[in-house]
């Protein structure tokens, strides 16, 4: 039954399907959600149902790069061309058969972070649903990555946002629809920015976690890995690998000195790696938290290290992520 106080469901849970009309993102579909807690999200069906803008009470959670929102047709697959279309935003999904540095593997070339985030979703829907806990917005679709004589992978995504609290849940199911065993790499590139990230912002890991730097640049400052610094010209990006205690679901938090925080929970039984991207340069000021089933050395690097995962024909893997905001 409709709430007697409401003339239209948009009053408690705004849900809009739009398209961009200007700039390098022209023609892209977007879905806007604004709930009763002041939580706003911008979802991109044409970029793998990833999430661009995200804010709470007008305060941005996400960092954006200078590239801005770009149509998937702008994808440059070779080498580091991926960064030309990397807009940032709250979530950029990397994969499905390549994550991390560009590389050569088994006679083929793979660019940075794979093709997923430049692949439009099909069977896209956005609906409101009634649940025992109140109304929710649900957005979903299917992203297919396939080619002749190559991979045939399908990711089905369901995004759920409740009407009254600042939270989001993402549920993905990845299936190998091909007839051969297939390398499977998946990383959720969560990009947190100002004002959530500012000097004094802290990442909080579960008790018993350990941290290791990716390289010498990250080793310089590893003792301060979990804290945001002031913007510094000439800053070299740092990447850290966090080893969390074994669990089916792990939770990490980002605490702002302003008194608000974001809590990220994810399926750590499948996403066994937690990668942190720390970039404190002016205009490139971002803390990335990246649950993944791999590290970021690229497909060949993961193969050489014995960490490369595979999906067998017909095999399915499911993951979930949730983000909650607090004051």
pLDDT tens across 290-318, in order?
999 999 999 999 999 999 999 999 999 99
- Tokens for 179, please give them: 């007839």
User: Domain holding 121: CATH number?
Assistant: 2.70.98.10
Which residue is it, tokens 């390549």?
Answer: 98
- Tokens for 2, please give them: 């409709």
Calculate the alpha carbon distances from 207 to 250, 274, 307 in Å: 11, 15, 25
Q: Judge whether 42 lies within some domain.
A: yes
Instruction: Summarize pLDDT for 149-202 with one digit per residue, the tens.
Output: 999 999 999 999 999 999 999 999 999 999 999 999 999 999 999 999 999 999
Residue 36 has pLDDT above 70, yes or no: yes
Instruction: Summarize pLDDT for 95-112 with one digit per residue, the tens.
Output: 999 999 999 999 999 999
The SS3 assignment for 164 reads coil
Q: Judge whether 154 lies within some domain.
A: yes
Q: Looking at residue 228, what is its pLDDT?
A: 97
Q: Judge whether 318 lies within some domain.
A: yes
With contact defined as beta carbons under 8 Å apart, do 278 and 120 qualify? no
- Report which secondary-structure segment, H or E, holds 325: strand 316-326
Residue 47 has pLDDT above 60, yes or no: yes
The CA-CA-CA angle for residues 190, 234, 292, to 5°, reads 20
Average predicted confidence (pLDDT) for the chain: 96
Q: Judge whether 200 lies within some domain.
A: no
Q: Looking at residue 65, what is its pLDDT?
A: 96
Number of domains in the chain: 1
Per-residue confidence band for 2, with pLDDT thresholds at 50, 70 and 90: low
Q: How many residues does the chain have?
A: 327
In the chain, what percentage of residues exceed pLDDT 70?
99
Residue 1 has pLDDT above 60, yes or no: no
Q: Judge whether 32 lies within some domain.
A: yes
Q: What is the arithmetic mean of pLDDT over 38-46? A: 98
Q: Judge whether 230 lies within some domain.
A: no
Q: Judge whether 149 lies within some domain.
A: yes
Q: Looking at residue 6, what is its pLDDT?
A: 83
Q: What is the arithmetic mean of pLDDT over 56-81? A: 95
Q: Judge whether 53 lies within some domain.
A: yes
With contact defined as beta carbons under 8 Å apart, do 233 and 249 qualify? no
What is the 3-state secondary structure of 168-201?
A: EEEEEEEEECCCCCEECEEEEEEEECCCCCCCCC
Residue 5 has pLDDT above 90, yes or no: no
With contact defined as beta carbons under 8 Å apart, do 166 and 324 qualify? yes
- Tokens for 199, please give them: 């000097």
Q: Looking at residue 200, what is its pLDDT?
A: 96
With contact defined as beta carbons under 8 Å apart, do 226 and 280 qualify? no
The SS3 assignment for 95 reads strand
Domain residue limits at 98: 9-195+284-326
């Amino acid at each position: 039954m409709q709430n007697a106080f409401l003339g239209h469901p948009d009053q408690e849970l705004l849900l809009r399907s739009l398209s961009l009309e200007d700039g390098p993102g022209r023609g892209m579909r977007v879905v806007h959600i604004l709930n009763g807690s002041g939580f706003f999200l911008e979802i991109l069906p044409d970029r793998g149902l990833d999430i661009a803008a995200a804010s709470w009470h007008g305060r941005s959670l996400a960092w954006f790069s200078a590239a801005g929102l770009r149509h998937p047709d702008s994808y440059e697959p070779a080498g580091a061309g991926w960064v030309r279309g990397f807009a940032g935003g709250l979530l950029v999904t990397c994969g499905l058969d390549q994550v991390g540095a560009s590389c050569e593997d088994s006679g083929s070339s793979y660019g940075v972070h794979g093709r997923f985030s430049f692949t439009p979703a099909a069977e896209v829907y956005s609906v409101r649903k009634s649940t025992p806990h109140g109304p929710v917005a649900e957005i979903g679709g299917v992203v297919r990555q396939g080619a002749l004589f190559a991979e045939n992978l399908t990711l089905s995504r369901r995004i759920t946002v409740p009407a009254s609290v600042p939270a989001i849940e993402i549920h993905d199911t990845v299936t190998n629809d091909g007839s051969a065993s297939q390398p499977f790499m998946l990383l959720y590139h969560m990009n947190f920015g100002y004002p959530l990230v500012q000097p004094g912002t802290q990442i909080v890991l579960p008790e018993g976690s350990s941290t290791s730097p990716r390289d010498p640049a990250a080793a310089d400052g590893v003792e301060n890995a979990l804290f945001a610094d002031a913007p510094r010209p000439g800053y070299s990006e740092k990447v850290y690998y966090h080893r969390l205690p074994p669990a089916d679901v792990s939770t990490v938090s980002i605490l702002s000195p302003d008194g608000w925080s974001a809590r990220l929970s994810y399926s750590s039984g499948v996403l066994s790696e937690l990668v942190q991207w720390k970039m404190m340069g002016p205009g490139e000021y971002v803390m990335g938290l990246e649950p993944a089933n791999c590290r970021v050395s690229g497909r060949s690097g993961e193969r050489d290290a014995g960490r490369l995962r595979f999906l067998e024909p017909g095999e399915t893997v499911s993951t979930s992520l949730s983000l909650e905001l607090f004051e």
